[in-house]
Chains A and B, each alone.
Chain A
């Protein structure tokens, strides 16, 4: 079941994962609807590492063809929520 509070928790967890990859970034300024690769200057290896940590944290399968759905913070939250329904 997805609730507002679990979404907030998911969001906080995802921000932590991003913070591990881009420790110098100011995540408070992150626009949740805009791709974070450009905002945080992530290269393809950073993004792959992020996908791996999403997989490990939320136990979700992320095929390469689904990568575009995980390009924004809100997109990630929605995917995690969908995986729980």
Chain B
């Protein structure tokens, strides 16, 4: 038997709310398939199952908030016999908040006093889609539960009015999550910072030619070159591609680049582009586009949030020339790129205008030293001079 537990989907995630099960008891499930949708402080996340088998038990009810690590489901792995009633699993789900409201007045406005909102998963989903704040709704279902009908009615009456509240709430929660992770980073991680200016003339010329050949649907952005170059440079300085766990470095064999994506309503997420060193630029671009789209639509997968082994941030879009980032724990490094700008450059004894970019490295001094960090940036520079090999 394998247990499916509430996963950690961020450095400071301590609990999550089950929005809905994507599988029913008795359903077969394959490793990597989505088993549940979980609501975290940042977004609703589709959570993948790490085992193949049959869904034997679902222990958490939609709407329940449980701590990270709580067993939420039991998966019977292929070849194992079904659990008989003689061997009952006695796993008590540990809801953080009571799964039932205290027996107050049946139509008490939900959640205004900190009690959990009673709302059906379908209603919750519709409310999120329509941007309606369900806390203001009067539930007509059992025990004042807000039903799909209630949300539909509200959506018809006040189309769009609730958007601001919901977005503002989500933003406030995301702000808190970012605050916790960044405060922990600055409290615990002794950062050191390095930067270098990289001549981008070869890379941009290559990109222009390459995009001239490509149909509009397959064109590349310079940020994909950066991501790929970082991934390849990490092979030379692998200690930057690691996690800090329980007082020691755990190097990662695989290179999953967390890409910082700003959300239009404010806040950011940094989901992973898995095995970025092994993907071609075209494939990486498609995956990057898909990732940005899903990040902004709020439909990321659990592995994308839990797997990054390093983060890349590009603030060049805002016109910033240099960014020194804050490492996202438990990662041990972050690479930043500023805007590509034209600057005087000395080549062969002549001053010429060249497009250049400032690349920076923020790294954990417990794990690596400035010398190795410098080698990493030098390797990054070298790789960007040979864009055709990326």
Residues of A with Cβ closer than 8 Å to B? 22-24, 41, 43-45, 48-49, 51-52, 55, 61-65
Contacts and interface: CB of A to CB of B under 8 A. Distances in A.
A58 B367 CA distance: 53
Given A44-B222, A49-B289, 17 more contacts: A22-B264, A23-B264, A24-B167, A43-B317, A44-B223, A44-B317, A45-B223, A45-B288, A45-B292, A48-B219, A48-B221, A55-B216, A55-B217, A62-B216, A63-B212, A64-B208, A64-B219
B211 interface: yes
B265 interface: yes
Contacts of A61: 216
Interface in B264-307: 264-265, 288-289, 292-293
Contacts of A41: 264
A64 B221 contact: no
28 contacts: A22-B264, A23-B264, A24-B167, A24-B264, A24-B265, A41-B264, A43-B262, A43-B317, A44-B222, A45-B223, A45-B289, A45-B292, A48-B219, A48-B221, A48-B289, A49-B289, A49-B293, A51-B216, A52-B216, A52-B217, A55-B216, A55-B217, A62-B216, A63-B212, A64-B208, A64-B212, A64-B219, A65-B212
B223 A64 contact: no
B314 to A, nearest CB: 9
Interface of B: 167, 208, 211-212, 216-217, 219, 221-223, 262, 264-265, 288-289, 292-293, 317
A65 B207 CA distance: 12
A12 B137 CA distance: 35
B388 to A, nearest CB: 18
Contact of B221 (A45, A62, A63): A45
Nearest 6 pairs of A and B residues by beta carbon: A43-B317, A64-B211, A55-B216, A44-B221, A52-B216, A52-B217
A42 to B, nearest CB: 9
Nearest to A49: B289
Contacts of A65: 212
Contacts of A62: 216
A25 B334 CA distance: 31
A22 B265 CA distance: 10
Contacts of A63: 212
B349 to A, nearest CB: 32
A43 B313 CA distance: 13
Contacts of B221: 44-45, 48
Contacts of A51: 216
Contacts of B167: 24
